[in-house]
Structure 1
Amino acid sequence: MDDPDNKPLTVGAAVTATATRDEEQPHKGALLAIDQTRNITIAEHQAGFWEAVRQWPTAMFWALFFCIAVVMAGFDAQIITSFFALPAFQQRFGYPYNGKYILSAEWQMALNMGNPIGQILGALACGWPLEKLGRRLTLAICCVWSICFVFVQFFATSIGMLCAGEILGGLAYGFYVVIAPTYASEVCPLALRGVLTASVNLAFVIGQFIAQGVAAGLESRLDEWAWKAPFAIQWVWPAILLVGLLFAPESPYWLVRKDRREDARRALERLSSAKNPPDIDGMLFMIEQTDLLERELEATTTYWDCFKKGNLFRTEISIMVYLIQVIGGNPLIAYANLFFEMAGLDPSEAFDMGVGNTALGFVGTCLSWPLMLYFGRRTIYNTGMIVMTIILFVIGFLDFGRNNTGIVWAQASLMDIWTFVYQTTVGPICFVIISEISATRLRGLTIAITTAVQALANIVFTVVLPYMINSDQGDWRGKTGFLFGGISLVCYIWCFFRLPESKGRTFEELDILFERKVPPRNFKNYNLLESDDEHA
């Protein structure tokens, strides 16, 4: 399917796409112009989605395979909060309150701290091994780490021990959420980039859905297996990953940066179809030219480089679109079961609504794929922000009639609708944007920074939400919609002025657009190929 946003482009003479870096070096004036890669850039623009699928089926498979790691992160984060509404867990670690057992806000906060604290430390620590060891070996080491520390969670005899297991295990989750979008963006062509990077969000949703289903299935159990069985399930995914990683190709972008040109060529050949081969030489040359351009613009690759020159704006965008996931209302998804229960539903109804909530998230993320073929990232993201903000305010206003059973069900239903909108727009598009906006040489570091920032924000809400929602504390219930609705409104204003359109742009084009300081709202219509003469 052709990209309707990109019209055929008029081009002049160009060097062949199969030229090598050694044959003709770009002169300084050509750094900010599409020159030597003109042919392959045009081919990338004009390639349709299904054509790219036929040419790069193996790339799709491996990008989705790496997302299995993110399933673990989504499962762990969701299963812990599901325990808060699990009767067996409440009776084992909670205390009686108004005729039933509840877990104290302090322990809810402590348990929820494990995953985000681990993500912060893991994300910031992953920069060096990702560049030194590559994507495959780094992910394999993390899988072994996860297997070891699931043992701590499974055999935990106290909440303190469980918290320690969550923090130590969370270190690997910080790596997973950086590696998956980085790898997906580096192994697929332009036409597939949006769908495959958005699959990271689908992996989160699948993990949450499995966790909700497991929790709902074990809700009636009153023994220790009600919470031990979910931990045992977490041994399955790293075992699958370790076997598959023996055969996975490495990122061609990483191989080029390590001056392993022939290995990069072989990786591209393995990622593409033998029956419908793409222009491997052209793709390899464009990767080399993108790397060369970024070397000229920034010689080093450190965390500090993410905040220098043109990279500062790119880092700001990446941080904000990921941060909005948290401060715009995403924590309510993790608290869905408890939110429904606090709203007045009985435990079985709350768990059923929770399963439905994550099921809608799954459908929404799948729906985002065809949307990305027709609409830009900026359009989808901003539309989602508007709708989500309105829903949150409605949930807040409805809480003034909280004693009405119909109002309670209306709030629960609106929470499901909010989740559907979120998982169709802001949720998946976030991972597309952070995978496209950052410079290729700094992508792993930039995504690590954004992951750490959103995890830090998650910690803040982990501390605040239990005190806001719990009936023995603030008892806000649906009024939390006012808080997140107000924050969402401010975030939308930022998106309107600062979020650029990256749909249909190669990584080289994005480098040039940012270096030329093109205004964010002009990214979509700025024609680089026709304006090269002015910058030659």
Structure 2
Amino acid sequence: MATETKQDTDGDIKMADGNDTNTHQVSHDVKKGNLLEIDATRDITSAEHNLGFWTAVKQYPTAIFWALFFCISVIMAGFDAQLITSFYALPAFQRRFGYEYEGEYIIPAEWQTALGMGNPIGQILGALASGWPLERFGRKKTLAVCCVWSSIFVFVQFFSTSIGMLCAGEMLGGLAYGFYVVIGPVYASEVCPLALRGVLTASVNLAFVIGQFIAQGCAAGLESRLDEWAYRGPFAVQWLWPIILLAGLPFAPESPYWLVRQQRKEDAKKSLMKLSSAKHRPDIDSVLLMIEETDLLEKELEATTTYLDCFRGVNLKRTEISVMVYLIQVIGGNPLIGYANYFFEQAGLKSADAFNMGVGNTALGFVGTCLSWPLMSYLGRRTIYNSGMALMTTLLFIIAFLDFGRSNTAVVWTQASLMDVWTFVYQMTVGPICFVIISEISATRLRGKTVAIATAVQAGASIIFTVAIPYMLNADQANWRGKAGFLFGPVSFFCLVWCWFRIPESRGRTFEELDILFERKVPSRKFSTHNLLDTDANETA
């Protein structure tokens, strides 16, 4: 049994026999895995485990509000990504920026590719650039600057007179989206207790779906218009989100984890006070101590917080998991959701029917994400994610094989309906659980950078499919239609195999416990059953 330790209120570590030692003296033991329990947080950790969902709601109502408030920024990212691709099936947009082909107007594949690049390229550059300002200036100030940036480039999109100008507006405006998809899950994971962490981080996916749903609704509502307001109107809606955020940010509490890392303990305490209920307030000093202990442990395990540290030691596995669960969103078939309207139209549905199916597609996504919340109360992250991957893989193969009978109208509607079912399964499992996993698996000191790396890799893959999908689906190109399932299906299957071996169960574990589990190199499939009191455990991943 390793020598037990505890921490006094000044932050110095004491050995069980009462002799003081500083953190540098014990760092060697920490890195060896011997000092992987801190008795000072044992009771706090137990209290976290015993805290029920509804009790947590009573204790942290403002934390819930502010976590959801920060997710408004993610609505912008989902809105823009869905809006521009839905325009490819919008008659007014086709006539203004497309060309006539066999009696119909279409947007050339190369321009579809260029327009679709704005969001993913912006996410790559913005995500990688977000690490430094998030750590230097905090979550609030960084988000405020991004809101101003977005507002400026919505003007470029709104007043575009050519497809090239519109493309430039998408590219430059997209830089902020990389920040948004990092800030949302990072902030949500840092302001809520264990009992609320899954639901609030999953809300990031709900924000994406809400953005997609609003974009689909705007496009469907204006589908019959043939003037420029059919596409300018939806662009103007994008000014709404920055206004709401900029009005509320001055009152938002900063992340207590970030404040502790900035040596601003009193400000962190004030932030926790704002995040909790005055009537049902938890022991703030204990919560603050657990945050400090988690930060202390991670300091001992990794001395610095650079991007390179995300690929060192046990953080390499944590980064791998975060990157892969986010990457699977793209390579597992999600790009078809973005092209849902166009996919339905190419499958043989009329324009109005395609837009109606598109609205239904995002509505099912909304319901699916909401259903993921109760699922997380009964099932683990690993179970939900793997089950979703298995169902999605099966559906993709069925959609692909149905395409051989597309001359039958009933088959076309079945194919389109199965695409909606696929979206429902995705948004109930892989979509929201992805954000829960990346928010929980990454180390707190490296969370912003880990999420940024995962976002950049995911956006990089999105660029590849942004180039490929127009050529796969366009009638004047490959014209694959539902046969795209033959590409995504096998990829999804291999991703399922990876998920089985590599995704750990993080449900019911505090950030400190997860640090210990990774440091002990516990195999991913044993995270849920590993006994943390067994300090002699020395399993290899």
**Interval of TM-score (by shorter of Structure 1 and Structure 2):** over 0.9
1:38-437 counterparts in 2 under 5 A? 38-437=42-441
Q: What secondary structure is seen at the aligned counterpart in 2 of 1:246?
A: helix
Instruction: Kindly indicate whether residue 474 of structure 2 is the aligned counterpart of residue 474 of structure 1.
Output: no
Deviation at 1:21, TM superposition (A): 1.9
Describe the superposition over 1:31-78 as per-residue Cα deviations: whole angstroms up to 9, x where unpaired: 312422100000011111111101111100000000000000000000
Offset from partner CA, 1:420-449 (integer Å, 9 cap, x none) = 000000000000000000000000000000
Give the distance between the partners of 2:501 and 2:38, measured in 1 at CA: 27
2:534 aligns with 531
After superposition, the C-alpha distances for 1:337-380 in whole angstroms (9 at most, x for unaligned) are 00000000000000000000000000000000000011000000
1:234-278 CA-partner distances (Å, limit 9, x unpaired): 001001000100100000000000000000000001100110011
1:533/1:491 CA distance change after superposition, 3 Å: closer
Contact 2:189–2:197 (8 Å) recurs in 1: yes
Report how far residue 495 of structure 1 moved: 0.3
| SS of residue paired to 1:96 | strand
Aligned partner of residue 254 in structure 2, secondary structure: coil
Code of the aligned partner of 2:37: A
Post-superposition Cα deviations, 1:439-488, rounded to whole Å, max 9, x if no partner, equal 00000000000000000000000000011111111010000011111100
Aligned CA distance change for structure 1 residues 186 and 75 (closer, same or farther; 3 Å): same
> Offset at 1:99?
1.3
1:21 corresponds to = 11
Kindly state the Cα deviation for residue 211 of structure 1 after the two structures are TM-superposed.
0.2
SS of structure 2 residue aligned to 1:101: strand
- C-alpha displacement of 1:207: 0.1
Q: Tell me which amino acid in the other structure corresponds to 1:194.
A: G
In the alignment, is the contact (CA less than 8 A) between 1:57 and 1:273 conserved in 2?
Answer: yes
**Structure 1, unpaired ranges of 5+:** 1-12
Q: Percent identity?
A: 74
Shift of residue 98, structure 1, vs aligned partner: 1.5
TM-superposed CA distance for 1:531, in Å, is 1.3
Partners of 2:9 and 2:496 in 1: CA distance: 44
Task: Tell me which of 519, 524, 535 is aligned to 1:520.
Answer: 524
Q: Which amino acid aligns with 2:72?
A: I
| SS across alignment from 2:39 | coil
Contact 2:72–2:207 under 8 Å retained in 1: yes
Q: Structure 1 residues 128-137 or 19-28, which shifts more? A: 19-28
Map of 2:498 onto structure 1: 494
C-alpha separation between the residues in 1 aligned to 2:411 and 2:508?
Answer: 44
Deviation readout 1:76-103 (Å, 9 max, x if unpaired): 0000001000000001111111211111
* Structure 2 segments unaligned to the other structure (5+ residues): 15-21
Question: SS where residue 221 of structure 1 aligns?
Answer: coil
Contact 1:177 1:451 in 2 (8 A): yes
Alpha-carbon distance between aligned partners in 2 of 1:432 and 1:235, rounded to the nearest angstrom: 29
Once residues 102 and 361 of structure 2 are traced to their aligned partners in structure 1, the CA distance between those partners, rounded to angstroms, is 28
* Other-structure match for 2:17: none
Task: Tell me which amino acid in the other structure corresponds to 1:21.
Answer: G
1:484 aligned residue (471, 474, 488): 488
2:186 partner SS: helix
Distance 1:533 1:381 in 2: 31
Contact 2:6 2:13 in 1 (8 A): no
Counterpart CA distance in 2 for 1:272 and 1:532 is 34
Equivalents in 2 of 1:468, 1:404: separation in Å? Answer: 22
Q: CA deviation at 1:15?
A: 6.3
Deviation (angstroms), 1:22: 4.5
Count of aligned pairs: 521
- What one-letter code is carried by the residue in structure 1 that aligns with 2:11? R
Q: Is the 8 A contact 1:34 1:509 kept in 2?
A: no
Shift of 1:168: 0.6
| Distance (Å, rounded) in 2 between the aligned partners of 1:534 and 1:402 | 57
- How far did residue 279 of structure 1 move? 1.6
Structure 1 counterpart of 2:380, which letter? G
- C-alpha distance 278-15 of structure 1, shift in aligned 2 (>3 A): farther
Q: Which has the higher contact order (CA 8 A, sep 6+)?
A: 1
RMSD of aligned residue pairs (Cα, Å)? 1.4
Rounded to whole Å, the distance in 2 between the matches of 1:15 and 1:452 is 40
Deviation readout 1:173-212 (Å, 9 max, x if unpaired): 0000000000000000000000000000000000000000
Contact 1:75 1:210 in 2 (8 A): yes
Contact 2:295 2:445 survives alignment (8 Å): yes
Query: Where do 4+ consecutive residues of structure 1 move more than 4 Å?
Result: 13-16, 22-30
Residue deviations 1:306-347 (CA, integer Å, cap 9, x gap): 001110000000000000000000000000000000000000
**Aligned twin of 2:513:** 509
Please tell me whether the aligned partners of residues 5 and 38 of structure 2 are also in contact (alpha carbons under 8 angstroms). no
What's the TM-score once normalised by structure 2's chain length? 0.95
